[in-house]
């Protein structure tokens, strides 16, 4: 009886400790599965990139002192462009008709790329530049990007060097991302699922569950 009493007291106190984390884990888990992941990511908001014209001829950009890691033709508003990736990480665009390098992308270029493929009903709200050193929380990639924001809160991130779409962030995605941060007990960075806080709470929850399993057969219904 003494053992059962001690276990019950420990079980009750530990239950109070893990009640809030369990509630957060459950609520955040429900939020993350309540909608299809394709809808969360806004997969239907952008049409597929148009195909390149068959049999087109292109002049490659001149080889320089900088080593090139990849060279590819990609469609853009107004026609195809060369996407040149250098070994040092920089990306440049080049004109396939002349082989000359194009000037860096401007806000209007980013707006045109999104406008060409956008399927939604909202209108353009703003275009701004983000840095690789301090990327936005909803991007979390060390890439310099143009952020195209629509009037309904959807954000499209384009690689500032190549113009490629690297992320689509809907308002619900940001709410989903916040719930993910709560789920792994890392609401600030939302990436570290191996943090001491979630490990400690997981162990306490495990101990509370094991106590309940031990207490269950020890419990007796009182008889009149």
Give the whole-angstrom CA distance, residue 164 versus residue 83. 10
Q: What is the CA radius of gyration of the chain?
A: 27
Chain centroid, CA 184 distance in Å: 15
Per residue in 92-114, pLDDT (tens digit) is: 999 999 999 999 999 999 999 99
Distant-in-sequence, close-in-space partners of 125: CB < 8 Å, separation ≥ 6:
149, 150, 151
Give rounded-to-5 percent helix, strand, coil for the chain: 40, 20, 40
Give the whole-angstrom CA distance, residue 98 versus residue 30. 54
**Would you call 157 helix, strand, or coil by DSSP?**
strand
**Residue 7: band (very low, low, confident or very high) from pLDDT cuts 50, 70, 90:** confident
Per residue in 150-166, pLDDT (tens digit) is: 999 999 999 999 999 99
Per residue in 76-91, pLDDT (tens digit) is: 888 899 999 999 889 9
Give the whole-angstrom CA distance, residue 213 versus residue 11. 11
Residue 143: count other Cβ atoms within 10 Å of its Cβ: 21
Residues 156/46, Cβ–Cβ less than 8 Å: yes
pLDDT recorded at residue 221: 53
Residue with the bigger pLDDT between 167 and 215: it is 167
């Amino acid at each position: 009886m003494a053992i059962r009493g001690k276990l019950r007291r420990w079980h009750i106190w530990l239950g109070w400790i893990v009640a809030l984390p369990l509630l957060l884990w459950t609520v955040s888990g429900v939020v993350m599965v309540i909608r299809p992941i394709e809808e969360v990511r806004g997969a239907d908001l952008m049409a597929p990139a148009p195909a390149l014209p068959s049999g087109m001829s292109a002049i490659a950009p001149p080889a320089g002192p900088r080593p090139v890691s990849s060279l590819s033709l990609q469609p853009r508003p107004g026609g195809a462009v060369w996407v040149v990736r250098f070994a040092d990480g920089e990306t440049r665009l080049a004109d396939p008709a002349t082989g000359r390098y194009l000037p860096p992308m401007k806000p209007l270029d980013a707006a045109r790329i999104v406008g060409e493929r956008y399927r939604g009903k909202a209108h353009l709200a703003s275009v701004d530049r983000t840095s690789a050193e301090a990327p936005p929380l909803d991007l979390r990639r060390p890439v310099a990007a143009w952020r195209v924001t629509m009037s309904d809160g959807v954000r499209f991130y384009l690689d500032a060097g190549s113009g490629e779409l690297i992320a689509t962030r809907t308002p619900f995605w940001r709410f989903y991302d916040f719930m993910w941060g709560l789920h792994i007990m890392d609401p600030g960075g939302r990436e570290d699922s191996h943090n001491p806080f979630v490990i400690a709470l997981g162990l306490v929850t495990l101990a509370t569950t094991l106590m309940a399993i031990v207490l269950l057969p020890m419990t007796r219904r009182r008889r009149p």
